[in-house]
Structure 1
Amino acid sequence: MEHYSCKFEELPNEEEMYDLAELFKVFGDSTRIKILFALFADEFCVNDLAEKLQMTQSAVSHQLKILKVNKLIKSRRDGKQMYYSLADEHVRTIIAMGREHIEEG
């Protein structure tokens, strides 16, 4: 695992720290975590995600919007249907590192 270190004088600027805190807030919702886990396996449309997670389409759509705005997922259109998937491998890495951290406990 790669380790990051910084000296006090190398702290990120305020905007970067704010953006990082905002990103971690997105991971602070268990519904969004469930959606991300579902997207680990495959891409899904809203209907399929709602069924798989036993949630309403409206609730899933709301969470997908938040995930997309924060660049954690991407979408593609196929006809009238939108399909969602993880934006990149960084999302898997963040979740995996979080799991590893809590399992060390």
Structure 2
Amino acid sequence: MYARDNGATANDLQEPLTSDDVIQAATVTLGMLADGTRLRLMAALVDAESDVTALTRLVGAARPAVSQHLGKLRLAGLVRARRDGRRSVYAVTDPHVRRLVIEALRMAEHRLSDRPAHHASAPDSAPR
């Protein structure tokens, strides 16, 4: 069978799988997670909310850099902030974002190890 024997035209086969708006939103999300510091922040927030001071210690970056990254993540809709007295406490916005971060880290573990650590840990915690 040859391509010319197929009754479908090229235009019939090129229907978009997903809308441009969805692709754009996914690109922004994945772009935000492509930075090592931001991914570390997201991994820290997968299990519990946290403030800037604790996140600074966890990711090992300077406080101004952590604050700037958190601002970008918040503008992208990946984290939310709430006031607790004088401090801001950050959390992952929804279960889809949480799952995306966990799966990205687990996939990376599989690429690096024959027996990833998450296979021995709780099913919904982020790899450390």
Normalised by the length of structure 1, the TM-score is 0.80
Aligned equivalent of 2:63: 57
Aligned equivalent of 1:75: 81
Aligned equivalent of 1:4: none
Mapped to 2, the partners of 1:100 and 1:80 lie a distance apart of 35
Q: More deviation in 56-65 or 13-22?
A: 13-22
Q: CA RMSD in A?
A: 2.0
| SS in structure 1 at match of 2:15 | helix
Q: What runs of 5+ residues in structure 2 fail to find an aligned partner?
A: 1-12, 113-128
Q: Per-residue deviation at 1:45?
A: 1.0
What does the per-residue CA deviation read over 1:14-71, in whole Å, with 9 as the maximum and x for residues that have no partner? 3332222122111111101100111123211111211222221101001001111111
- Identity among equivalent positions (%) equals 25
Q: Per-residue deviation at 1:99?
A: 3.3
| SS in structure 2 at match of 1:19 | helix
| SS in structure 1 at match of 2:50 | coil
User: 2:42–2:92: 8 Å Cα contact kept in structure 1?
Assistant: yes
Aligned equivalent of 2:19: 13
Mapped to 2, the partners of 1:53 and 1:77 lie a distance apart of 21
Q: Per-residue deviation at 1:94?
A: 0.7
Structure exhibiting the larger radius of gyration computed from Cα positions: 2
| SS in structure 2 at match of 1:39 | helix
Q: What runs of 5+ residues in structure 1 fail to find an aligned partner?
A: 1-6
